[in-house]
Structure 1
Amino acid sequence: MEPRPVVNVEEFIGKTVGRRVPPSGAGLQVTLNQALKTQKRGLCPKGVYRFNSHEEADAWMVKMMNRKKVS
Structure 2
Amino acid sequence: MQPRPVVNVEEFIGKTVGRRVPPSGAGLQKTLNQVMAGQKRGICPRGVYRFKTHEEADAWMTRMMNRKRAS
TM-score normalised by length of structure 1: 0.61
Q: Using the alignment, how far apart are the partners of 2:52 and 2:40 within structure 1?
A: 30
* Contiguous gaps of at least 5 residues in structure 1: 1-14
Q: Using the alignment, how far apart are the partners of 1:30 and 1:22 within structure 2?
A: 17
- Which amino acid letter does the alignment assign opposite residue 64 of structure 2? M
Q: Which 10-residue stretch deviates more, 51-60 or 28-37? A: 28-37
Q: Which runs of 4+ in 1 moved over 4 A?
A: none
Question: Partner residue of 2:51?
Answer: 51
2:55 partner SS: helix
Question: Partner residue of 1:64?
Answer: 64
Question: Partner residue of 2:33?
Answer: 33
Task: Calculate percent identity across the aligned residue pairs.
Answer: 70
Tell me the number of residue pairs that the alignment of Structure 1 and Structure 2 aligns.
57
Note the alpha carbon deviations across 1:44-64, whole angstroms, 9 max, x for none.
111111111111101100111
Rg comparison, structure with higher value:
1
